[in-house]
Structure 1
Amino acid sequence: MRYIVIKCGGSVLDELSSSFFTSISELQNLGFKLVFVHGGGPDINEMLELFKIEPHFVNGLRKTDQQTLKIAEIALIGHTNRKLVEMLQQHNFNAIGIHGSDGYCLQADYINMEELGYVGEIIKVNTQIFHLAMNGNYIPVVTPIGITKDGQKLNINADYAAAEVAKTLHAEQCLFVTNVDGVFIDGSVASSLSQHEVNAYIEKGEISGGMIPKVQSALNAVEKGVESVMIVSGKIAFFENGKWHGTRIFQKEPITK
């Protein structure tokens, strides 16, 4: 089977266009099996605010105590996951929500309990769950909550979760869906960027602001063994007539524009 893993951040869900779903349909028609992994930062922050809990981050990762973990689960499962599943269903896709801890789908371990609390990194992906869903012609939509061998749930960064799922499935592409068309260099979208050139453009200031964490997440994914990551927009057709629109990030090959 040919797989594509699609990571949608929680902040981009409300901006997904009908053209985005047309691209999803085109990929399916070409025989790709799709897996969605989603974030949920805005929904989690909104619930934390209701409980008067201030969010804290360490090196871009949400510091997670037991109460924050429970709130993150409620937000991700009860709101963000349902939102994305319902959007796919409204566009005539068979989608099914999967909690990352169910059936040890995303088996994880602590990154640093002292610094981050209940935050994990994936050590094993249970591909059987994905295959069961996809063999039934369902698109799995996965929450980034992992589980340890002894049953403790852990908060997982959605970019990292998508990268591990893509690597384990040997996916042909891992897509990071954003609200921009790709990475702009000299005023136009670069079709591809190597790891070396991404770092150089950050240093020169060509890549700046909110694009920096996006490309750094993509680099983290290729460092984990994913062949390449596409940064694409959820507001346009990112795949049309067999052609990709966005920026491909990979490790060694040179830039082409």
Structure 2
Amino acid sequence: MSSPLIIKLGGRVLTDSLALQQLLTTVQRLAALRPLVLVHGGGDQVQSLLQQLGHDSVKVEGQRVTPAAHIPIVAGVLAGDINSQLCALALQHGLQPVGLTLQAGDTVRCEVDTSRGAVGIPQPGSGKLLQLLIEQNYLPVLSSLGVSASGERLNVNADLAAAVVAQVLHGDLILLTDVAGILDHAGLLIDIITAEQAPELISNGTVRDGMVVKLTAALQAAQMLLPTAARRTIAVAGWHDANALTRLARGEPAGTRIHV
């Protein structure tokens, strides 16, 4: 069996029903090529519901600050609404989805990032459950909700969570975004970013806001997968480009690839 491909979903695709249908059609095609695991966030939906309920919500360096009082809302959106919707759509596309949170099977462990409230810093756990599901042709669909060692539910950045899942499964990683990949100041795609180039791209503002987290997560995955990273696909790519995603699933160049 080929190594799994971990795909992180987020952004506009999760709020646009037609876009999500398009992406699930692509996922169906990719599943015929190799085993898949989906990891999703849902920051836009969380933000919207918090505002509707009269809560303030802020981000620092692209990551949400989550007071403990917000966790029931975050959990309901991530592990409830979005996860069940993705699983329902995947089922319609002939897949066999299994909705999970990060702590299922001790897949991802979390430390508490006290500077951001009830936010988890993901750490690798066990890949046993996901491997068992993959071997039986199931599609694991993980929401970015974690749990601390003391049982506290935590909001986890989905890009970082996906990077840890890639480490746990020794798999490839694609972080989906609303654009073709990481773009330069002229709006052109950057084909390759190395660990040496990344700090300057961040400091000069080429990579900013939420894309900083994506680049950080991709670099983290590449570092975690050493010494096999040179043989792995680690990329940031647009969800709307089925051809690019197919190329990445085959190990071919597309999007912005991250090298160490």
Structure 2: tracts of 5 or more residues without a match: none
- Structure 1 length-normalised TM: 0.83
Output aligned runs, 1:91-130, within 5 Å: 91-112=93-114, 115-130=115-130
Deviation by residue 1:154-184 (Cα, 9 ceiling, x = unmatched):
221111111111011110x200011111233
Deviating 4+ runs (over 6 angstroms): none
Alpha-carbon distance change, 246 to 124 in structure 1, aligned in 2, over 3 angstroms? closer
Name the residue aligned to 2:245: 239
The AA in structure 1 aligned to 2:38 is F
Name the structure 1 match of 2:194. Answer: 194
Q: Are the counterparts in 2 of residues 191 and 245 from structure 1 also a CA contact under 8 Å?
A: yes
Alpha carbons of structure 1 residues 119 and 233: separation in structure 2 relative to 1, 3 Å:
same
Q: Give the C-alpha shift of residue 41 in structure 1.
A: 0.4
In 1, distance between residues paired with 2:124 and 2:219?
20
1:170 aligns with 2:170: yes
User: 1:16/1:199 Cα in 2 relative to 1: closer, same or farther (>3 Å)?
Assistant: farther
What root-mean-square deviation, in Å, do the aligned CA atoms of Structure 1 and Structure 2 show?
Answer: 2.7
Tell which deviates more after alignment, 40-49 or 17-26. Answer: 17-26
The CA distance in 1 between the partners of 2:176 and 2:92, in whole Å, is 19
CA contact (8 A) 1:17 1:234 kept: no
Give the counterpart letter for 1:174 in structure 2: L
- Tell me the secondary structure at the aligned position of residue 197 of structure 2: helix
Q: 1:169 to 1:231 in 2, by over 3 A?
A: same
Residue 89 of structure 2 aligns to a residue whose secondary structure is: helix
Q: What TM-score comes out, normalization by structure 2 length?
A: 0.82
Distance 1:110 1:17, change over 3 A: closer
Amino acid at match of 1:29: A
Q: Indicate the SS of the match to 1:45.
A: helix
Q: Aligned ranges for residues 1-257 of structure 1 at < 5 Å?
A: 1=1, 2-13=3-14, 14=16, 16=19, 20-21=23-24, 23-30=26-33, 32-112=34-114, 115-171=115-171, 173-185=172-184, 188-204=188-204, 206-207=206-207, 211-225=211-225, 227=229, 229-237=234-242, 238-240=244-246, 242=250, 243-251=252-260
Structure with more of its chain in strand, by fraction: 1
Q: Distance in 1 between matches of 2:152 and 2:92?
A: 34
Decide whether the 8 Å contact of 2:6 with 2:37 is kept in 1: yes
Change in 2 beyond 3 A, CA 1:61/1:206: closer
* Number of aligned positions between the proteins: 247
Structure 1: 5+ residue stretches without partners? 252-257
